[in-house]
Structure formats: C-alpha cells, structure tokens
Chains A and B, each alone.
Chain A
C-alpha cells in the first residue's frame, strides 16, 4: 500500500492560503496547518483593545480557516527569532518596514524544519506569482524555495503551473494538472475559486498580513528606533505602537495617550513600566511617558494630557503622576492650547 502523504500548509488567515490548502486536500493529501505569530500579526490585538470593536464578532482568521478546512492548526510563537528578520532583513524592506522576502524565507524554513520533525512530506503556501511586489515575484519565489532550504518540497498550488515541477508532482503524490496557473495582482481568480469551493465570509486583508506593511505603524516603529539610538524592540513596544495617540514632545521622550476607555484599560497594565498621568479634576485619558523624564518633561506632558481631557478649556487641570516606584504626586497645570501643539509632535 502506498503511504498516505502529508503536507503542512502555511495558514495566514487570508484567502490564498485557504485555497492553496484546499486544492491539495482535494488531491487526497493529509493536510495540517501551521501559523506563525510574529507579534506584528493583524489578528486580534487592536480589536481586543478598543472598546468600540469589542461588540463586533471577533475571530482569529487562522483558526477559522483551519476549521473551514477541517484541519489541525499548529500556532508557533516566533516573536523572539523574528526580531532579527525585522531588524536586519538581508533582502531589505518593502514599501514600509515589511521585510516580506526575508519573512517568507524564514517561515518556510521553520515549516521545513517542522515537516522533518513531524514526518510530513511537503509544504504548501498560498503564494501567487506577481501577487505582491516583493516576495511574490517570478524572480523571488525561487529565492524563497532555495534560501529556506525547502527547495522542491515547497508547493504553491495556486501558481504551480507557472513554476517548475516540484518533488510531489514528479513523484506523482499530486497531479500538476489539478494545480492552478494564477498570475499577477488580480484577486478575481481567487474569488472565483472560492466561489467554486462554496467559501464565503473569508478575510481579505488589504496590503498584507501584518502591521509592518502599515505606513503609520512603520513611522512609529522607525521613530522608536531613532529615539532609542538603536534598532531593537520588545513585545511591549510593538503592542503599545498599536494603541493610542503617540506624540514625541522631546527627542528623549514621547507620550502615549489613550483615545477611549478600552485603550485606557489596556494602558493601565503598563503603569508599572512607565511613568503615567491621569487627570483627576476632569474626565480624561490615561497617558504613559516613554523615555527618561525629568520634572520639566512631566509638566509639559501634563499640560498636553490636560488638553486631551474634558478640561481643555479650563484654567487649571489637576492630574496624578505615578512614578515607576508607584509613588504619586498631584500636579495642577494649564492645558496647552491647540496652537501650542506643533503638528510635528504627532508620530
């Protein structure tokens, strides 16, 4: 009897990886999913933070995709290892701080290690030739196969017919005729195939699968590196970049101000790591100060935070300042006027 062949599919939660896995599943291959958590994934976070998003039904798209396919999903935390990809991408960045090519190589490499450990035969991705400007080009797709070490055990079912035959095709585990020849940026073929499979309600992330493709996010991350004088980050940093308004008042410190209650609650969790400000005479946001600050800095930040409180027109606004050691002091300040807040402060 021939052995049941097994493949692991990289599942991002988007349509392409869903379709790619389905195409191979239909050829009688046992498929399981693998999803990598980099810390920058669009999934979840901000939805969980912002109050207004809480009422919306929230789902993790990778889990949803796995459930649609009826496959197991292995979620792998790669936060630490991934830092090197974001900080030193050999192939550089895309339009923003997205190191897509290095990222893809890294993920396929991890999947390749995984199949070796778990007795699987090959890897599936939803990549399409010409779909994305950096990682999914005719000339970069072979780079992913080669540099990841996966070589011809990497199958891209949606574009398979445009690419050289892979090991599973040559060995007859899968049939090349039943792969697709999608090409270019159009999403129409994917949508048509989804319809054919009877799939609805799938996620269609614009731009990319992570925050690094987001221009505003990238600006905040670059600002963080510049302010610290070195390219590095911790998980808390990248979470905080997704929350609140960020204003850099001086090169050595910035203020993170919650925009609504959910964000305020989330920032509460960081009060032991950052000096924080909270208005007491008027309803207002919670703010964190990121950087080493002196009394003048705190006074300036307090005036800014007062501006974002209900007391912005008041003569004085009272605030509580909580230091890193938990000690508190009261401040009474005059809110900044709109004209006193330069546009350049906004990151």
Chain B
C-alpha cells in the first residue's frame, strides 16, 4: 500500500510535526505516512515525536533539499 503523503515543505518546525500528528490521528495502526519536509529540524523532531507517542520510525532520507521521514502509525495513538 502506498504511504499517505504529508507535504510539509516550506514549513518550519514544529509545523511539520503538527501536520504529521494531525494526519496520524485519523489513520488506523499500521498505516505508513511519508512526510516531505524542507526544515532539517524535522529529521530530529519527527523521530522524537514517534518515540514519545508510540509510533514507528521506518526511515529518514535526504533527497536534495528535501528530507523524507517515513512513519508507521502505532497501536494506540
């Protein structure tokens, strides 16, 4: 299943985290969410947010000026 995309480009932290949080709230466990960000802060903030709230960080990668963070929605959100 292709991941749900959250476009957080041009947003500064903590807005990318808020966008991901609000999208994840609406999704069932196991769904993958791919956040596309331009603020490098998202590379540390979104993983921290996952650890705190019980979601799984699948991968982070850099593509040019964009940072991609893939998250899997945890059991209880």
Report A's interface with B, CB cutoff 8 A: 35, 37, 41, 43-45, 47-49, 54, 57-60, 62-64, 66-67, 71-77, 239, 269
**In the bound complex, CA of A57 to CA of B21 (Å):** 23
Flag the segment in B7-15, B28-36, B56-64 that touches A: B7-15
Which of A45, A71, A269 contacts B52, CB < 8 Å?
Answer: A71
B39 interfacial contact with A, CB 8 Å = yes
- Contact partner of A44 (CB less than 8 A), chosen from B10, B21, B41, B48, is B41
Please give me the 8 A-B residue pairs with the lowest Cβ-Cβ distance, nearest first: A44-B13, A63-B48, A48-B39, A48-B41, A60-B45, A45-B12, A66-B52, A77-B18
In the assembled complex, which residues on chain B have CB atoms less than 8 Å from the CB atom of A62? 14
Q: Assess whether B39 is in contact with A44, with CB atoms less than 8 Å apart.
A: yes
Residue of B nearest to A72 (CB): B53
Q: How many A-B residue pairs have CB under 8 A?
A: 67
- With A59-B48, A63-B48, A64-B48 already in contact, the answer to whether A44 and B14 are too (CB < 8 A) is yes
On chain B, the residues within 8 Å of A35 by CB distance are 14
Given contacts A44-B12, A44-B14, A60-B17, contact A72 B41 (CB under 8 A): no
Residue of A nearest to B77 (CB): A72
Which residues from B are CB-within-8-Å of A71? 52
Which chain A residue shows the least CB distance to B65? A265
How many of chain B's residues have a CB under 8 angstroms from any CB in A?
19
- Are A75 and B18 in contact (CB-based, < 8 A)? yes
Partner of A43, one of B14, B40, B54: B14
A4 to chain B, nearest CB (A): 15
Interface on chain A toward B: helix, strand, loop, or mixed SS? mixed
Distance in angstroms from B6 CB to nearest chain A CB is 14
B18: A residues at CB distance < 8 A: 37, 75-77
CA distance A44 to B13 in the complex (A): 6
Interchain nearest-CB distance for A6 vs B (Å): 15
Chain A nearest CB, measured from B57 CB (Å): 13
- CB pair B15–A77 under 8 Å, yes or no, is yes
Measured between beta carbons, the chain A residues less than 8 angstroms from B15 are 37, 77
**In this complex, what residue of B is CB-closest to A66?**
B52
Closest to B52 in A: A66
B residues lining the A interface (CB < 8 Å): 10, 12-15, 17-18, 21, 39-41, 44-45, 48-49, 51-54
- Bound form: Cα–Cα A211–B17 in Å: 20
Closest to A266 in B: B12
Residues of the A chain whose Cβ atoms lie less than 8 Å from the Cβ of B48? 59-60, 63-64, 67
Q: Which residues of B contact A58 (CB under 8 A)?
A: 40-41, 44
Please, how many angstroms separate the alpha-carbon atoms of A227 and B53 in the complex? 44
Which chain A positions have C-beta within 8 A of B44? 57-60
Question: Nearest Cβ in chain A — how far from B69, in angstroms?
Answer: 14
Q: In the docked arrangement, what's the CA distance between A63 and B52, Å?
A: 8
Q: Which residues of A contact B51 (CB under 8 A)?
A: 67
B52: chain A residues at CB < 8 Å are 63, 66-67, 71-73
B12 touches A75 (CB 8 A): no
A41 to B12, CA, bound (A): 11
Chain B residue nearest in CB terms to A65: B52
Please, which residues of chain B bring their CB within 8 A of the CB of A49? 12
Given contacts A67-B51, A67-B52, A72-B53, contact A60 B13 (CB under 8 A): yes
- Using known A-B contacts A48-B12, A60-B13, determine if residue A75 contacts B40 with beta carbons closer than 8 Å: no
A54 proximity list for chain B (CB < 8 A) = 40
Distance in angstroms from A180 CB to nearest chain B CB is: 26
Q: A48-B13, A59-B44, A239-B12 are in contact. Are A73 and B39 (CB under 8 A)?
A: no
